[in-house]
A and B are shown apart, each in its own frame.
Chain A
Amino acid sequence: MEKAICNTTIEVNEEGFMINFSEWNKEIGEELAREAMIELSERHWEIIEYIQDEHRKEVPLSIRKIGKSGVVDIKEFYALFPKAPLKTATKIAGVPKPASCI
């Protein structure tokens, strides 16, 4: 479905995950973060960039992998993106919901 955001429209799925990563930009990221009630700090951005890099390399994401990435440990990841950090962080980053859950 289409979603109006930042004076443009993006394609999202039923859960609000972006379908085309190419439509993402920083402004959209900030707006998606606001919707998730998160104010983005420098640390948030480092994690979002890491997630996007992994997505470009087609590496599947999991909480475990992010915890071992050296970018952030799991505790801090939860502090930055409370409740369901991987879901929230990937949604803001504009990448598909991780399919680590088969």
Chain B
Amino acid sequence: MKRLVILGAGTAGTMMANHLDHELNPSEWEIVIIDERKEHYYQPGYLFLPFDIYTPEDIIKPIQKFIPKKVQLLNEKIEKINAKENEVWLSKGESLHYDVLIIATGAKIAPGEIQGMQGEEWYRTVFDFYTFEGALALRDKLRVWEGGKLVVHITEMPIKCPVAPLEFAFLADSFFRHKKMRDKVEITYVTPLDGAFTKPRATAALNHLLEEKNIAIESDFAIAEVDNENKKIIDYGGREIPFDLLVTVPTNKGDELMERSGLGDELNYVPTNKSTLQSMAFPDIFVLGDASNIPASKAGSVAHFQAEVLTKNILSYIKGEPMKEEFDGHANCFVETGNGKALLIDFNYTHEPVEGSFPFSGFGPLSLLKESRMNHIGKLAFKWVYWNVLLKGIPIPFVPAKMQEAGKHF
């Protein structure tokens, strides 16, 4: 009997467990998935929690509910991967041998990387919304905040869901308008990039939206420090931006397990082949989702497309055949723009987000890179799709892993 071990039962790991449960012969392969948590968090929901659009119940469900019966779920902390011996060490001292290992341990915030970020103002006037705790604390703050300077800030790239901070700024604009206090709030968007987004064409569209919503942008800002006493952020060049409420996206890092195991780069991401998703160091290790260092967005849609590709590659690998499937970097993201509207962007390693219709060429019903109410409905419907379709590894109809070019204006 051979064993395939999946580390991490988040979005990527859960999808792989479901895919492989269908594909691997149970008389030959045992599948084990390990995660120290008992709950699965719908991370896109963290964006809506601070604005009282979602409740905690919308966001949290038990991990077990999404793991197939034949897959063994171990609720334990992982101490170390001993890749040379094909072993995973668990915190209780046991070790588990694997024939194939899938790393899906994700990424998380590391506010300790920036001086003063986790200082005395942390969760008082300085918040993150990339954790459940942060999003919830921010919700409570926004319920009573009377206005002032709101600074929405990105520490450094790469981050999970690079559009989320922008969406936060757009939703904040909308939120304060509804509360009839937009005139009391000055919103500034601070980024280490040279514009609103990482891809020039989408940046042009998004910069325009920022302007329209009266959100100031401060670009090329590489934060050195959060000054808790004077409530300002300071960059390495000496530039200072004052705040009354700072909503920051701290540095994102891969799991510390990679550091302990000697498998990560300087941000604990695992060096991975961007087409095959095989580890660069060990052929029997595969990596997907936020845990890898590949130059694709760290987003659930990416993990979803990767899971389809990786399933085929793992099947080839265990048969000793060449891995033919190539991941193209495909990402597909809804961007909430406030007031019940959203944009949709679709891109990959080589093609930037473009205008057009999606998923049906010339028909839609969703429109790419343009604000529409239909896109917003799409984003809200996505929560249902996530819990009921995506995690179970069911392909989304008409949205294949590889990006389609028809109906798009390149």
Among A68, A78, A82, A84, the residue within 8 A (CB) of B266 is A68
* A100 and B157 form a contact (CB under 8 A): yes
A87 contact from B194, B296, B298, Cβ within 8 A? B194
Bound Cα distance A63, B295 (Å): 16
Interface residues of B in 2-22 (CB under 8 A from A): none
> Cβ of B222 < 8 Å from any Cβ of A?
yes
Write the chain B residue with the least CB distance to A98: B157
Query: How far does the Cβ of B280 sit from chain A's closest Cβ, in whole Å?
Result: 11
Q: How far is the CB of B267 from chain A (nearest CB, A)?
A: 7
Q: B88 to nearest A CB, angstroms?
A: 28
> With A and B bound together, what is the CA distance between A84 and B266 in angstroms?
22
Bound-state Cα–Cα, A78 to B194, Å: 16
B295 near A99 with CB under 8 A, answer: yes
- Chain B contacts for A74, CB-based, 8 A: 222, 224, 236
Q: Report the separation of the CA atoms of residues A102 and B161 in the bound assembly, to the nearest whole angstrom.
A: 9
B:213-249 near A, CB below 8 Å: 220, 222, 224, 236-237
The complex places the Cα of A84 from the Cα of B220 at a distance, in Å, of: 6
Q: Is A65 at the interface (CB under 8 A from chain B)? A: yes
A64 touches B295 (CB 8 A): no
Q: Are A64 and B156 in contact (CB under 8 A)?
A: yes
Instruction: Establish whether residues A75 and B236, one from each chain, have CB atoms under 8 Å apart when the complex forms.
Output: yes
Contacts of B86 in A (CB 8 A): none
Is A60 touching B237 in the complex (CB atoms < 8 A)?
Answer: no
Q: Which of A62, A78, A101, A102 contacts B296 (CB 8 A)?
A: A102
Residues of A within 8 A of B220 (CB): 83-84, 87
Contact residues of B: prevailing secondary structure: loop
Known A74-B224, A84-B194; contact A102-B297, beta-carbon cutoff 8 A: yes
State A68–B267 Cα separation when bound (angstroms).
12
Q: Which partner residue on chain B sits nearest A86 by CB separation? A: B222
- Complex CA gap A75/B237 in Å reads 7
Complex Cα distance, B192 from A78, in Å, reads 13
Closest residue on chain A to residue B267 by CB atoms: A64
Interface residues of A in 65-102 (CB under 8 A from B): 65, 68, 74-75, 77-78, 82-84, 87, 99-102
B158 at the interface (CB under 8 A from A): yes
CB proximity of B303 to chain A, nearest CB, Å: 14
Q: A63-B222, A102-B162 are in contact. Are A78 and B156 (CB under 8 A)?
A: no
Interface size bracket, B side: 20 to 34
Is B257 located at the chain interface by the 8 A CB criterion? no
CA gap between A101 and B220 in the complex, in Å: 12
A68–B237 Cα gap in the complex (Å)? 18
Residue from the list A14, A65, A68, A102 in contact with B198, Cβ < 8 A: A102
Q: Bound complex: CA of A65 vs CA of B297, how far in Å? A: 20
Residue on B nearest A82 in the bound complex, by CB: B237
Residue of B nearest to A14 (CB): B200
With a CB–CB cut-off of 8 A, which chain A residues contact B295?
60, 99, 102
Q: Which residues of chain B have C-beta atoms less than 8 A from A102's C-beta?
A: 157-158, 162, 198, 295-298
User: Could you tell me the distance between the alpha carbons of A14 and B352 in the complex, rounded to whole angstroms?
Assistant: 15
- Closest chain B CB from A30 CB (angstroms): 24
Residues 152 to 167 of chain B near chain A (Cβ within 8 Å):
156-158, 162
> Does A101 lie within 8 Å of B198, measured CB to CB?
yes
Residues of B within 8 A of A83 (CB): 220, 237
- CA of A15 to CA of B295, assembled, Å: 20
Interface residue? B193 (CB, 8 A):
yes
Chain B residues within 8 Å of A60, by CB? 293, 295
7 shortest A-B CB distances, which residue pairs? A84-B220, A78-B236, A101-B198, A101-B157, A78-B237, A102-B158, A74-B236
Interface residues of A (CB under 8 A from B): 14, 60, 62-65, 68, 74-75, 77-78, 82-84, 87, 99-102
A–B pairs, 30, beta carbons within 8 Å: A14-B200, A62-B156, A63-B156, A63-B192, A63-B222, A64-B266, A64-B267, A74-B224, A74-B236, A75-B224, A75-B236, A77-B236, A78-B222, A78-B237, A82-B237, A84-B194, A84-B220, A87-B194, A87-B220, A99-B295, A100-B157, A101-B157, A101-B162, A101-B193, A102-B157, A102-B162, A102-B198, A102-B295, A102-B297, A102-B298
Q: What would 10 more interface pairs be, CB under 8 Å, given A74-B224, A75-B236, A102-B295?
A: A60-B295, A62-B157, A64-B266, A74-B222, A77-B236, A78-B236, A78-B237, A101-B157, A102-B158, A102-B297
